[in-house]
Amino acid sequence: MNLNEMAIFATVVENESFTASAKLLGVSKSAVSKQVSRLEDRLGIRLLNRTTRRLSLTEAGAVFFEKCQTVIAVAEQAEQAVSRLSNVPRGLLKINAPMSFGIKRMAPLMSAFREQYPEVAVDLILNDQVVDLVDEGFDVGIRIGRLMDSRLIAKKVTNCGMALVASPSLFKETKIPVVPAELSALNFLNYSYVSRASGLKLVGHDGTVNVPLKADFSANNGDFILSAVEQGMGFACMPTFICGDLIREGRLVKILPEWEIDNDHAIYVVYPVTRNLPPKARVFIDFMAKFYQGIPEWDQ
């Protein structure tokens, strides 16, 4: 049995045309027609009904096409299994990541990764709105916060520290809050993709408190929220990978530093459950986990 003949026959059936199949396979129409005729001669039965307008399967052709699909699928799986054992990851790696994390923290990661794996090309798509990795064809994604999609396998990279921050200018005419209840007097700048409708939950030595928020401004991008905080428009609850540098520089004030923001947020690298993990994705996942292991530099 010639696997190439089976593949060509299946392509003709799927495209319902010798011409279209030849173009797809990069060969002449006559070459495709001869391969199918040779296959029919060897099997001793007609597989296709040919007219000037269209091609259609005979009863035998329909049975053979179904079996061809099974054989081709097994052959492709065998090839993928062998390719996963390759010691040289290569090809295009498509990554999805949140906008602010990508801009502020991923350039050193990608530079080091490309240096170690020069045969892996990268297409990094930054988007604050969560996209469907499967539907959009991504190999891996970076997720921050709680994971909701059961179709994703996740590897925790590091914790996602959170801080309440404001500009020093906000406290020129009012004091810095020293207890959670005083936060309610300040305007809260809300990140659109995180719901704070029920308030802000804080954990301290005396237990947990839930603080109602006064919020009249929201935006769907962390960097914009950061800029609004710097302008003195209000305070925000932000990941430290966004605001940590400005806290260290004294450009932002950390409010209620002795209180912890009650959340289970972390930074994960994720990939679809239904997809065989190619070497290029596998090495990136391991590389990222090692790159950010320990206390991340923005929290040091």
The answer, yes or no, to whether residue 215 has pLDDT greater than 60, is yes
The answer, yes or no, to whether residue 46 has pLDDT greater than 60, is yes
CB contact set of 106 (below 8 Å; sequence gap of 6+): 97, 124, 142
pLDDT band for 3, please (50, 70, 90 cuts): confident
pLDDT band for 288, please (50, 70, 90 cuts): very high
- Residue ranges in the chain assigned as alpha helix (H): 3-15, 18-25, 29-43, 59-83, 99-116, 133-136, 222-230, 240-248, 279-291
pLDDT of 49-86, one tens digit each?
Answer: 988 788 899 999 999 999 998 898 888 888 777 665 55
* Count of positions (residues) in the chain: 300
Please answer whether residues 201 and 208 qualify as being in contact, where contact means their C-beta atoms are separated by less than 8 angstroms.
yes
Q: Same structural domain for residues 60 and 131?
A: no
pLDDT band for 137, please (50, 70, 90 cuts): confident
pLDDT band for 218, please (50, 70, 90 cuts): very high
Q: Same structural domain for residues 208 and 255?
A: yes
The answer, yes or no, to whether residue 282 has pLDDT greater than 70, is yes
Q: Taking the chain, what is the end-to-end CA distance rounded to the nearest angstrom?
A: 64
Q: Same structural domain for residues 257 and 170?
A: yes
pLDDT of residue 166: 96
Domain endpoint, select from 83, 112, 127: 83
pLDDT of residue 132: 85
Domain endpoint, select from 15, 49, 83: 83
For residue 208, what is the domain's CATH number? 3.40.190.290
Exposed, middle or buried, 166 (CB in 10 Å: 0-12/13-18/19+)?
buried
pLDDT of residue 232: 94
Q: Same structural domain for residues 240 and 295?
A: no
Cα distance between residue 181 and residue 2, in whole Å: 77
For residue 37, what is the domain's CATH number? 1.10.10.10
Domain endpoint, select from 49, 83, 117: 83
How many domains would you assign to the chain? 3
Q: Same structural domain for residues 79 and 64?
A: yes
Cα distance between residue 213 and residue 264, in whole Å: 20
pLDDT band for 258, please (50, 70, 90 cuts): very high
Looking at the DSSP assignment, which residues form a beta bridge with residue 235?
A: 188
Q: Same structural domain for residues 155 and 269?
A: yes
Cα-Cα-Cα-Cα dihedral of 74, 78, 79, 85, to 10°? 160
Q: Same structural domain for residues 55 and 123?
A: no
62: left (phi over 0), alpha (psi -120 to 50) or beta: alpha
pLDDT of 191-209, one tens digit each?
Answer: 988 888 788 999 988 889 9
pLDDT band for 2, please (50, 70, 90 cuts): confident
pTM: 0.67
The mean pLDDT value of the chain amounts to 89
pLDDT of residue 196: 84
pLDDT of residue 265: 80
Q: 3-state DSSP call for residue 126?
A: strand
Cα distance between residue 144 and residue 136, in whole Å: 19
Sign for the pseudo-dihedral over CA of 147, 153, 159, 161: negative
Percent of the chain with pLDDT strictly greater than 70: 94
Highest mean pLDDT: which range of 167-171, 193-197, 261-265: 167-171
pLDDT of 80-136, one tens digit each?
Answer: 776 655 567 888 999 999 999 999 999 999 999 999 999 999 999 999 888 888 888
pLDDT of residue 276: 66
Please answer whether residues 152 and 268 qualify as being in contact, where contact means their C-beta atoms are separated by less than 8 angstroms.
no
State the residue range of the domain holding 228.
162-261
Q: Same structural domain for residues 65 and 96?
A: no
pLDDT of residue 149: 61
Q: Same structural domain for residues 45 and 111?
A: no
Taking the CA atoms of the chain, what radius of gyration do you get in angstroms? Answer: 28
Q: Same structural domain for residues 148 and 172?
A: no
Q: Same structural domain for residues 221 and 78?
A: no
Q: Same structural domain for residues 112 and 71?
A: no
pLDDT of residue 83: 62
For residue 113, what is the domain's CATH number? 3.40.190.10
